[in-house]
Each structure stands twice: as structure tokens, then as C-alpha cells.
Amino acid sequence: MPHSLQLLPDSTGTAAENMAIDFLLLNNYSTPDALRFRHYEWARPAYTFGLSQAYSYALSEIPDKKADICRRPTGGGVVSHLEDWTYSLVIPFEHGLARAEPAETYRAVHQQIVDALAAQGANAVLNTDAPDISAPSVCFEKSEVHDVVLRNLPSKVAGAAQKRTKAGYLLQGSIWKPILPDLDWTRFYNDFTHAIAQLADVPIEFVPRPEWPENDLEQLVSQFESDEWNQRR
């Protein structure tokens, strides 16, 4: 059973660097018996798109072709990282949240976002409506079931993309900051991570950024930067 929720230091990277680190956190980590959480930012304007999306479609939905554009290792749609609050959560396979149905884990984590926002008076709820499949697959232009939305408004607050492997479960989440102009993000970070720790029934542990073999990170960054990866479909 995992023994803690490890909070990694905040970091800033290119799109490829951020995707590579999340991938390594899932698949190559020195303490596989812990959950891991990190909040990160973007060194340059960036967009990411889902593992199964067509590159041509993603490119058509991105207005700034000079921005970093990178295919994620998770699913989901096109996400603008120009003004979002980005995080990743890794849950090792031994934990029940990693072995549950992905939709249930998605719902449970997003409920913690709702609760953390409510602590500051934000009127957010989980979306219960089925998505319009004819709508564009662009993250903040439509809401999936269990995304976070503002009550009685069509405005989407938070969504995420998932991947589950034999190593565990990766959630890459995005919260649209402009829709919450008065939110204290430091308080939100504390409330959200404490809520996840309670959900997982583990204590919080602050840890340094892990040290991987240098070649592992460099090779993955090169992969996520490559046309072979980004334009493969």
C-alpha cells in the first residue's frame, strides 16, 4: 500500500520537458510505493493534444503555430496552456484509485477540486451532462462528464487527461485561471493536495525533484519534441 503523497517542487519547462517528466514519474520513479503530485508551468506559450488525436486536427485548432505544440502521453483534446494552472498526479498500481474504473478516479479527483474551490467561495460543481460529440475536441470548449464547471453556467473550470498502465495511473490536469480571477492559488494548492491525501488515505511528504539517469530524460524530451511522435497520426 502506498505510504504517502509526495509533493514535488513547482517547476517550469517546455511542453516536451513537461510531458517527459510526467511520463517518467509514471514509469521510472525511485519510490514506486508513493503517490506523486506536481504543479508546473510553461517556459513558452504551449499547447498539448491527446495521444489519439490527429496532428492535423490539433494544428487546425491552435492559433499560434509558433507556440510549443506537443502530443501528450494521455488522452483528451487540445489544451491551451497560455493561462491555465497545470498539475499531474501519479498513483501507483497498488493503490485502489489506480485500479478503479478510470471514470471513477477522474470523478473522485475532480470532486477534490470542487471542494478546494468551494473553500474560497467558488460556485463550482461536477458536470453531469453527456458531452456533445459533434462539438470540437478542444478542452475548454466543451465539458465531459465529471469535469468541473461553474454552477448554472456553461463555463468549464477544470478538465484532465488520463493514462493507466501496469505501472499505475497518470492524470494530467488543467484549470482555467481566467474564470477564477479572485482565487488564491497558493491556498488552492494546499487545499487540493490535502484533499487528495485524505482521499488516498496517506500523509503528505515534501520531496525534491527526482534524479533520473540523464540520458533517460534527454531521450524522452527528444522523443516528445520529434515529428515522429507529434505527427504520427
What CATH number is given to the structural domain containing 22? 3.30.930.10
Count of structural domains within the chain: 1
106 in any annotated domain:
no
Low-confidence residues of the chain: pLDDT under 50: 133-136
Quote the pLDDT of residue 202.
Answer: 96
For the chain, the distance separating the N- and C-terminal CA atoms, rounded to the nearest angstrom, is 38
Q: What is the pLDDT of residue 131?
A: 57
Is 21 inside a domain boundary?
yes
3-state secondary structure of 36: strand
The answer to the question of residue 9 being in a domain is yes
The pLDDT of residue 133: 47
Residue 94 lies in a domain: yes
pLDDT tens for each residue of 46-93: 999 999 999 999 999 999 989 999 999 999 999 999 999 999 999 999
Q: What is the pLDDT of residue 211?
A: 85
What range defines the domain where residue 42 resides? 5-98+158-230
- Name the helix (H) or strand (E) containing 200: helix 185-200
For residues 21 and 24, give the distance between their C-alpha atoms in angstroms, rounded to a whole number.
5
